[in-house]
Amino acid sequence: MLRWLAPLLLILPIMASGEEVVLGLSRDTVSITTSFDGSEILIFGAVKREIPIIDPPLEVVITLAGPSEPVVVRRKARRLGIWVNTDAVEVDAAPSFYAVATSAPFDQALRDIEDLRHKVSINRAIRSVGAPSNITDSESFTEAVIRIRSDSGLYQTLENKVSFDQQTLFRTSIAMPADLSEGDYVTRILLTRSGEVVSEYETTIDVRKVGLERWLYNLSRHQPVLYGLMSLAIAIAAGWGASAAFRMLRNS
């Protein structure tokens, strides 16, 4: 029995590595301009095989993650008739945008232990190490980040939204809202079988401000005094223009 078991253990890794992802993107850059109102990314690809299709079938899990950054979450409470901040927790790293799409229900496509290892689901993609000793429900602050960003379209869970044809060709589209942060958006594709990851592929989408949006962004970061004076001048000019137009309408 042991004599046959050893060769079998050598064959299994070869079979697992015989399926890998060949990826395509509808675009690998997103340009944010003053008129930018969102975008849609088409992610598609194929499974490259060196072995025949075997059972159980593969599933596909796709994630798209924006740059991670710390987030301070504050809880308000009513004190003497006034809503005030009472507690605050800093979430160490939360993606500015995160979407996960699957070809099957999430629990079927990925086991919990694999989710923990690869940090695929939204709550696993957020890193919150600790909280002040007086906070006993720190998880609720992370849940608040997820709820708020999900409501604004920044966090998305898209179960059964990956089309997977003949266990070979896959595709999905992910809508990206207008208020995107700049940076590299990491795209991951995981092939799974029986909930376990058998292959993983990763690439990035470059999201940058361009044109007037880029010039204003750089001005606000590198010359804040000039940016403030320019903003003040524009506000004064706009107010004067509105007042002059109102007087002309009243006298006409």
Q: Are residues 149 and 228 in the same domain?
A: no
Determine the Cα–Cα distance for residues 218 and 205; give it in Å rounded to an integer. Answer: 21
Q: Which pLDDT score, from 0 to 100, does residue 77 have?
A: 66
Residue 7 lies in a domain: no
Phi, psi at 35, each rounded to 5°: -100, 10
Q: Are residues 154 and 223 in the same domain?
A: no
Which range marks the domain in which residue 222 is found? 210-252
Q: Which pLDDT score, from 0 to 100, does residue 18 have?
A: 72
Q: Are residues 215 and 121 in the same domain?
A: no
Report DSSP state, residue 135. -
Which residues lie below 8 Å from residue 118, measured CB to CB, with a gap of 6+?
110, 190, 197, 200
Q: Are residues 170 and 219 in the same domain?
A: no
pTM of structure = 0.71
How many domains does one find in the chain? 2
| Token code pair at residue 223 | 């010359």
| Token code pair at residue 225 | 């005094």
| Token code pair at residue 88 | 């605050």
Mean pLDDT by 10 residues, the chain (252 residues): 36 51 63 60 83 83 91 72 68 90 94 94 84 66 87 93 89 83 87 92 76 51 63 70 68 66
Q: Are residues 117 and 221 in the same domain?
A: no
For the CA atoms of 113, 64, 147, 197, the dihedral, rounded to the nearest 10 degrees, stands at -10
Q: Are residues 149 and 231 in the same domain?
A: no
Q: Which pLDDT score, from 0 to 100, does residue 160 have?
A: 94
Q: Are residues 155 and 99 in the same domain?
A: yes
Q: Which pLDDT score, from 0 to 100, does residue 36 have?
A: 54
CATH of the domain at 83: 2.60.40.1930
